[in-house]
Structure 1
Amino acid sequence: MIHIQAIPAFQDNYIWLLSEDCSQQSLVVDPGDASVVEKALDRLDLELSGILITHHHWDHTNGIETLTKNRSIPVYGPDNSAISGITHTLDGTETLAVLGTEFSILKTPGHTLDHIAYFANPDQDDPILFCGDTLFSAGCGRLFEGTAEQMQSSFNKLRALPENTRVYCAHEYTLANLAFAQTVEPDNHSIKEYRNKVIRLREQNRPSLPSSLKLEFTINPFMRTDQNSVITAVKEHAPNAPLSNDSEVFGALRHWKDHF
């Protein structure tokens, strides 16, 4: 059985630490800070046996060099020369077996062009997703390099996963995202209820993550671009924007969030 723990880093990043019952082996996802990873490994008496990378931004990759300096371990990630230290490149067409678990690699461009995500269903009833900065709880990543069409396509891949999939994104942005979601859908009671829950969690300094796809389908406007309530809100906010398909709604919604 895989155990997953959050290692807070910087102001709002989460580095995800994966370990298993039967050994001291572990993996980390997007280690932007090596020092907090080393402290967690020491505290939990774990041995680092690999690294998973979702995209090239420094707050997801900056710890690779230090963590691999005295360890001969694989570093999996996208095929991008901007990421120093990748030993096994992934293009979104393969599967990856680590910690006795098979992960499917999903190509999810939008936030960056090289972005990938890792999906597994180790117990056949408890699927997990490490989605980096593509999907956030109640939000999505900024379109730094990709287009709205690309991000919508990436979201469609995630929407096709089992709704009970646990979503491990890389930042604690949930409260800010929920404030925007409430503006888009003020009559969505699920958003209000979830916001109250997250407020209580954050007051206790506890992560709001993981989320689940089932939850995101009800509270995340970027997962709801086909819903009349979201489409109407976007039309009212940007009456001159072309909104003939989901991608155009997604793009106008992301532009609204960028200036929220």
Structure 2
Amino acid sequence: MIDLQAVTALADNYIWIAPAPGNHRVLIVDPGDAEPARAWLREHGAQPAAILLTHHHGDHVGGAAELARAYGAPVYGPATERIGAVDHPVGGGARLEIDGFGTIEVLDVPGHTAGHIAYHGDGALFCGDALFAGGCGRVFEGTAEQMHASLQRLAGLPGETRVCCGHEYTVKNLEFAARVEPGNERLARRLEHARALRQQGRPTVPSTLEEERATNPFLRTDSAEVQAAAERRAGQPLADAAAVFATLRRWKDQGG
């Protein structure tokens, strides 16, 4: 299983760096700013084997072109989104073979943006702004139904998969989750632990998919307590899990 480094950038972004075992080549995921990635590369004497982009938002792609020019690294990104730095456009079902990193599967996860993709390989999931620790991204370009389907696709990966998301939003996400599901004791413990990590200046990520399935309300739309909370919020019965998700997302968007 590859090592993972969460490098802070901009206000609350993470640039993910995954070193290959036994050499100085790394994958760089969603470099919204080139300089934190370059500083890490200088400190560790490393070279990027490839740059992976999940979606077109500037805080995820802003440093990609500079890094590609500086190091001659290929840039992979969603085929259906316009990102100038991308020279290897890919979509769901693609399998990337990058020397030293095994096979990396590309997953279509539309919702946050229309062409959002994720990368899954060697026990790690680089999911950008689709899935967060304790939450999920806003639905900007897709539909709630698309976003729910995308999250269910990710939730079906093995439980030990490490969730490498794009932002440090965990405490706020879990505070909302605790309002939705106050009877979830594991969620309460997770929130307490996340607060302690942040007080120490430490990242709360990566999490695991097993942990997300147990504590993230956006992956728990089949939970009776989550459904009941969503129906109270909506003021009416909800027809299915996608409607529960849509209600939760609106609730969170309105300030939780």
How does the TM-score come out when normalised to structure 2? 0.96
CA contact (8 A) 2:109 2:118 kept: yes
Note the 1:179-258 alignment, pairs <5 A. 179-240=175-236, 243-258=238-253
**Partners of 1:174 and 1:195 in 2: CA distance:** 8
Tell me what 1:79 maps to. Answer: 79
Note the 1:16-35 alignment, pairs <5 A. 16-35=16-35
In the alignment, structure 1 residue 165 sits paired with structure 2 residue 161:
yes
Tell me what 2:43 maps to. Answer: 43
Q: What secondary structure does 2:118 align onto?
A: strand
User: Cα RMSD (Å) of the superposition?
Assistant: 1.2
Q: How far is the alpha carbon of 1:80 from its aligned partner?
A: 3.8
Tell me what 2:118 maps to. Answer: 117
Q: How far is the alpha carbon of 1:2 from its aligned partner?
A: 2.3
Paired amino acid for 2:250: H
**Partners of 1:215 and 1:194 in 2: CA distance:** 9
What is the identity percentage for the equivalent residue pairs of Structure 1 and Structure 2?
44
Tell me what 1:104 maps to. Answer: 105
1:136 to 132, 136, 142: 132
Paired amino acid for 1:248: A
**Partners of 1:108 and 1:204 in 2: CA distance:** 33
**Partners of 2:148 and 2:70 in 1: CA distance:** 40
CA contact (8 A) 1:134 1:140 kept: yes
**Partners of 2:157 and 2:69 in 1: CA distance:** 36
For residues 73-110 of structure 1, give each alpha carbon's deviation from its aligned partner in whole angstroms, at most 9, with x where no partner exists.
21001014521110111111210112332111100001
**Partners of 1:162 and 1:145 in 2: CA distance:** 28
CA contact (8 A) 2:164 2:206 kept: yes
**Partners of 1:93 and 1:128 in 2: CA distance:** 17
In the alignment, structure 1 residue 4 sits paired with structure 2 residue 30:
no
Paired amino acid for 1:92: G
**Partners of 1:222 and 1:229 in 2: CA distance:** 12
**Partners of 1:92 and 1:139 in 2: CA distance:** 23
Per mean C-alpha deviation after superposition, the further-off stretch among 51-60 and 70-79 is 70-79
Structure 2: unaligned runs, 5 residues or longer: none
For residues 181-223 of structure 1, give each alpha carbon's deviation from its aligned partner in whole angstroms, at most 9, with x where no partner exists.
0100111111110011111111111110000011111110001
CA contact (8 A) 2:55 2:81 kept: no
**Partners of 1:14 and 1:116 in 2: CA distance:** 17
**Partners of 1:250 and 1:201 in 2: CA distance:** 28
How does the TM-score come out when normalised to structure 1? 0.95
Q: What secondary structure does 2:158 align onto?
A: coil
Paired amino acid for 2:174: L
Alignment size in residue pairs: 254
**Partners of 1:31 and 1:211 in 2: CA distance:** 20
CA contact (8 A) 1:56 1:80 kept: no
**Partners of 1:184 and 1:81 in 2: CA distance:** 34
Q: How far is the alpha carbon of 1:71 from its aligned partner?
A: 2.8
Note the 1:144-163 alignment, pairs <5 A. 144-163=140-159
**Partners of 1:9 and 1:100 in 2: CA distance:** 24
